[in-house]
Amino acid sequence: MNRREFLGTFAAAAVLPAFVREDTNEWGAPVFDLHFHLRPQPAANLAHLDGAGIAKANLLTRGRALDQVKALQAAAPGRFTWFSSYDVTQPDAEQVLTQTVKSGAQGFGEMKFHVAADGPELRRMYALAADLQVPILIHFQEVDHSPNEGTWSTGFAKAFAAVLKEYPRTTFIGHADAFWANVSADYHNEAVYPAGPVKRGGVTDRWLGDYANLFGDMSAVSGSNAMARDPGFTADFLKLHQDKLLFGSDCSCRDGHGAGYNNPAAPRMAGKCVARETLGVLKRSTSPVIFQKIAWGNVHRVLRIPA
Ligand SMILES: [Zn+2]
Ligand SMILES: [Zn+2]
């Protein structure tokens, strides 16, 4: 081994911590968190990943975040990818988001704005995501969690099949309340997190099967709740859509064990880590092979990065 080869080995070893975890990981497979909001302090980001047994995460950012992302990537090589978002109602949205992709962002998200899911503001973003060959992650919500919170990317159940057809080159990643409540055919925007048995044939379930360009981000209480409400449904759903589902946490707890977590719309989750709750239900509900796809394999394909 010459000096250059030795240094090459050393450089590879520097990124090893993310992969050493594969053997010792408490979940039995390495975990990638698609939906992790960038925290201002670098150490706070790592505290959640390490606490929850997560090897890698995709940082969701809004506005100017490049310096913070680069600093974190330098502090923990190989553990972070990132998405960018920007107010889609602003005239320079396309220009700003294009620049972030040129700077290394792997996708758009999360897109969470008070506009219609099939309105002109988001349509521009769907077209741009296709042109730049990056996925777009969208927050769909029709019911307020608190008075006057407002709704986000509205009209999912009624309007989104047409969007999926119209933008076949765009990779859509669905997320949040309306996306997950609509796994059940009897949902009509009456609850934030519906409980009880799922009525088969909900639009989210059907569209994941019908449209190659739609993926599901399992993060937040919405994703966790959808998988926890009806074990028979969950087992079938995970098997059927095993190549279309991506684990994510959207958890705001401090330590990856639930410290400080409080969601007024879901009192049962107080003091719990959403990442742990969702990984737990996934592990109980499916085979190790499918778990590994959802927790690790699929996201690498969708983000076009090596596993
Ligand atoms: Zn969201
Ligand atoms: Zn957590």
The Cα–Cα gap between 80 and 57 comes to 5
The Cα–Cα gap between 83 and 36 comes to 10
Query: Which listed ligand is nearest to 221 at the C-alpha?
Result: 1
pLDDT-above-90 percentage for the chain: 85
Reported confidence tier of residue 147, pLDDT bands at 50, 70, 90? confident
Instruction: Write out the DSSP string of 1-57.
Output: --HHHHHHHHHHHHTTHHHHHHHH-TTSS--EEEEEEPPSSHHHHHHHHHHHT-SEE
> What pLDDT, in 10s, does the model give residues 107-140?
999 999 999 999 999 999 999 999 999 999 999 9
Give backbone dihedrals phi and psi of 222, rounded to 5 degrees, phi first.
-60, -50
The pLDDT, as a whole number, for residue 9 is 37
What is the CA(14)–ligand 1 centre distance, in A? 33
The pLDDT, as a whole number, for residue 6 is 36
Query: Which listed ligand is nearest to 140 at the C-alpha?
Result: 1
Q: Is the pLDDT of residue 106 over 90?
A: yes
What is the CA(210)–ligand 1 centre distance, in A? 24
Query: Which listed ligand is nearest to 33 at the C-alpha?
Result: 2
The better pLDDT of the pair 64, 276 is held by: 276
What is the CA(152)–ligand 1 centre distance, in A? 9
The pLDDT, as a whole number, for residue 236 is 98
Q: Is the pLDDT of residue 178 over 50?
A: yes
- Mean pLDDT, residues 89-94 taken together: 97
Reported confidence tier of residue 24, pLDDT bands at 50, 70, 90? low
Length of the chain: 307
The Cα–Cα gap between 24 and 186 comes to 42
Reported confidence tier of residue 307, pLDDT bands at 50, 70, 90? confident
Q: Are the CB atoms for 146 and 109 separated by under 8 Å?
A: no
Q: Give the mean pLDDT of the chain.
A: 92
Query: Which listed ligand is nearest to 219 at the C-alpha?
Result: 1
